[in-house]
């Protein structure tokens, strides 16, 4: 699948076997940044990479900072290639965010190839070109737009993801499908069991369809000024949940909860029928595994977290809601979300999830 960007055209390939790694190893002037856990799990794939061309990185939010980026820049200065260097990074969204930033600023931009090893990175973040670093207590405050030259998705690697991380990725897969409309929702209802079983061809199919769906938005609005903002469906609430729980709840899971909250508000406003809401919830609840007391925070904390979300442009609360539903979902950026609606959506989710467990 080809992605058009004003910076470059780049391609995502869904790989069937490991031969692409052999091709990558044959390239000259490469420098690898690999998620340490992935390196340990798949040592045989990386065994021939010379030590001086390799940096192993633990995928933690604490490491997603400018200091780590500078350390990697420093390592790259030590290989002879300079501007001809190609950075190859292997890992999930954390590794992607750091290495995309490095590739962008190093010599004002070096070649970058990304191998996403989490479902979340493969189905969502690997395209779109956003790079992000956390700064002080602000998540993703620093960042640029810089897509890789090529993305190789090798879904076989997802079999070693923890349930927590795998289901987090499913949260985003479900998001794209629910946004897409009735067919997407039906697809999800029919395939969620296979996805939970990690059936390889089902994963490949949903990664491809998620990326194809996202591609339309990023190609229409690469720099997140208009149409692309709709991809933030459920994210205002998701980001708040991540923040108030100190990121114990992973991104895609928080987005799944955020979808239930957003759809509840859409239901109260009579934008969305109870039938669609219930059917979506049935799918979503299958990927949400959380300790409910984590959400037991005051409404003030949620409101503070939402206001800090850098996408909130003014005092009024903004969120993307589904505003009508049919062959495709109609999404709108709403600027009039009230504190009462948010409180009601949190209460609603807590009650719903409480009944599940
Ligand atoms: N740039 C973007 O557009 C964008 C979009 C969404 C999220 N993000 C960022 O992505 C990050 C979350 O990324 P993520 O959910 O992909 O995961 P991650 O990078 O946080 O990794 C999650 C865990 O999975 C492990 N792991 C990775 N691949 C594995 C594999 N194949 N087998 C076993 N374990 C593996 C990691 O070591 C880590 O412990 C957040 O920092 C978020 O802000 C960025
Ligand atoms: Zn997301």
How many whole angstroms from 121 Cα to the centroid of ligand 1? Answer: 6
Q: Whose CA is nearest to atom 8 of ligand 1?
A: 93
Compute the distance between CA of residue 334 and CA of residue 323 in angstroms, rounded to an integer: 9
- Picking from 159, 175, 203, the residue at the C-terminal end of a domain is 159
Tell me if 233 sits within 8 A of 259, measured CB to CB.
yes
269 CA distance to ligand 2 middle (Å): 24
Residue 327 confidence (pLDDT)? 82
CATH code of the domain containing 28: 3.40.50.1970
80 and 129 in a single domain? The answer is yes
Residue 312 has pLDDT above 80, yes or no: no
The answer to whether residues 151 and 248 belong to one domain is no
Q: Whose CA is nearest to atom 4 of ligand 1?
A: 125
How much is the pLDDT for 137? 84
Q: What is the pLDDT of residue 315?
A: 65
Residues 117 and 170 in one domain: no
Burial environment of residue 247 by CB neighbours within 10 A (0 to 12, 13 to 18, 19 or more): middle
The CA distance from 157 to 319, in Å, is 34
In whole angstroms, give the CA distance from residue 329 to residue 337: 20
Show the ligand 1 pocket: residues with CB < 6 angstroms: 35, 37-38, 41, 59, 61, 64, 91-97, 117-118, 120-121, 124-125, 128, 130, 132, 140, 157-158, 160-161, 165, 168, 250-251
The number of the ligand 1 atom at minimal distance from the alpha carbon of 120 is 16
Token representation of residue 29: 């002037």
71 Cα–ligand 1 center, Å = 20
Instruction: Please state the atom number of ligand 1 nearest to the C-alpha of residue 94.
Output: 19
Q: Whose CA is nearest to atom 10 of ligand 1?
A: 93
> Which atom of ligand 1 approaches the CA of 168 most closely?
15
Instruction: Report how many domains make up the chain.
Output: 2
Q: What percent of the chain has pLDDT over 90?
A: 92
Residues 42 and 92 grouped into a single domain: yes
In this model, does residue 316 exceed pLDDT 60?
A: yes
**Atom 39 (ligand 1) nearest CA:** 59
Q: How far apart are CA 357 and CA 346, in angstroms?
A: 17
Report the residue among 36, 62, 125 best suited for mutation to probe ligand 1: largest number of ligand atoms under 8 A from its CB.
125
Name the more confident of 357 and 346: 346
Ligand nearest to the CA of 258: 2
Domain extent for 227? 163-356
Residue 283 three-state SS: helix
CB atoms within 10 A of CB 11: 12
pLDDT of residue 54: 97
Residue 270's closest CA among 230, 334, 325?
A: 325
Q: Name the closest-CA residue to atom 9, ligand 1.
A: 93
State pLDDT tens for residues 24-57.
Answer: 999 999 999 999 999 999 999 999 999 999 999 9
Domain end point (choices 131, 159, 187): 159
Q: Are residues 242 and 272 in the same domain?
A: yes
* Whole-prediction pTM: 0.95
> Which residue in this structure is represented by tokens 């979503």?
284
Closest CA to 240 of 343, 108, 111: 343
Q: What b-and-e string marks burial along 188-210, b requiring 16 or more CB atoms within 10 Å of the CB?
A: beebbeebeeeeeebbbbbbbbb
CA of 262 to the centre of ligand 2 (A): 14
How many angstroms is it from 181 CA to the middle of ligand 1? 27
Residues 118 and 218 both lie in one domain? no
171 and 259 co-located in one domain: yes
pLDDT at 325 over 90: yes
| Distance of CA 39 from the midpoint of ligand 2 (Å) | 25
pLDDT at 260 over 60: yes
Domain-terminating residue out of 128, 159, 190? 159
Helix (H) or strand (E) holding 196: helix 182-196
Whether residue 349 sits in one domain with residue 215 = yes
| Mean pLDDT on 194-215 | 96
78, 52 in Cβ contact below 8 A? yes
Are both 240 and 307 inside the same structural domain? yes
Do 38 and 142 lie in one domain? The reply is yes
Phi-psi category of 248—alpha, beta or left, where left has phi over 0 and alpha has psi -120 to 50?
alpha
Residue 313 has pLDDT above 60, yes or no: no
Confidence band for 357, pLDDT divided at 50, 70 and 90: confident
The CA–CA distances, whole Å, from 5 to 9, 116, 129, 139 equal 6, 19, 9, 25
Residue nearest to atom 35 of ligand 1 (CA): 161
Specify the residue with its C-alpha closest to ligand 1, atom 14. 93
Burial 161-181 (b: 16+ CB within 10 A, else e): beeebbbbbbbbbbbbbbbbb
Q: Which atom of ligand 1 is nearest to the CA of 95?
A: 19
Cα 271 to ligand 1 centre (Å): 33
At 56, list the tokens. 């192993």
Q: What is the DSSP letter of 297?
A: -
Is residue 331 pLDDT above 90, yes or no? yes
Per-residue model confidence (pLDDT) at position 356: 84
Specify the pLDDT at position 314.
Answer: 58
* Cα-based distances in Å from 285 to 116, 120, 189, 326: 26, 18, 12, 22
211 and 272 belong to one structural domain: yes
Q: Are residues 202 and 104 in the same domain?
A: no
* CATH code: domain of residue 302: 1.20.1090.10
């Amino acid at each position: 699948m080809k992605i058009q960007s004003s910076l470059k055209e780049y391609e995502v390939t869904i790989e069937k076997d490991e031969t692409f790694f052999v091709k990558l190893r044959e390239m000259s002037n490469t420098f690898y940044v690999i998620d340490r856990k992935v390196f340990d799990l798949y040592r045989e794939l990386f065994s021939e990479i010379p030590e001086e061309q390799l940096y192993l990185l633990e995928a933690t939010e604490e490491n997603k900072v400018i200091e780590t980026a500078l350390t990697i820049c420093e390592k790259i200065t030590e290989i002879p290639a300079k501007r001809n260097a190609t950075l190859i990074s292997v890992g999930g969204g954390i590794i992607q965010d750091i290495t995309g930033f490095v590739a962008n600023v190093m010599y004002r931009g070096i070649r970058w190839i990304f191998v996403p090893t989490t479902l979340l990175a493969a189905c969502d973040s690997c395209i779109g070109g956003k790079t992000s670093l956390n700064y002080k207590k602000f998540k993703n405050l620093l960042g640029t737009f810089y897509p890789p030259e090529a993305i190789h998705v090798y879904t076989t690697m997802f079999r070693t993801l923890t349930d927590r991380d795998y289901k987090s990725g499913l949260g985003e897969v479900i998001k794209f499908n629910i946004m897409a409309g009735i067919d997407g929702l039906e697809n999800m209802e029919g395939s969620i069991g296979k996805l939970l079983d990690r059936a390889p061809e089902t994963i490949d199919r949903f990664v491809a369809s998620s990326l194809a769906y996202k591609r339309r938005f990023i190609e229409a609005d690469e720099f997140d000024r208009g149409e692309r903002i709709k991809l933030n469906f459920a994210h205002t609430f998701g980001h708040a949940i991540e923040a108030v729980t100190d990121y114990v709840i992973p991104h895609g899971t928080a987005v799944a909860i955020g979808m239930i909250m957003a759809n509840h508000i859409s239901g109260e406003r009579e934008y969305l029928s109870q039938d669609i809401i219930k059917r979506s919830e049935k799918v979503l609840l299958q990927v949400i595994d959380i300790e409910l007391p984590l959400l037991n925070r005051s409404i003030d904390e949620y409101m503070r977290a939402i206001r800090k979300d850098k996408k909130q442009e003014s005092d009024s609360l903004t969120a993307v809601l589904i505003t009508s539903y049919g062959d495709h979902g109609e999404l709108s950026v709403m600027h009039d979300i009230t504190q009462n609606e948010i409180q009601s959506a949190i209460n609603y989710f807590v009650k719903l999830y409480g009944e599940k467990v």
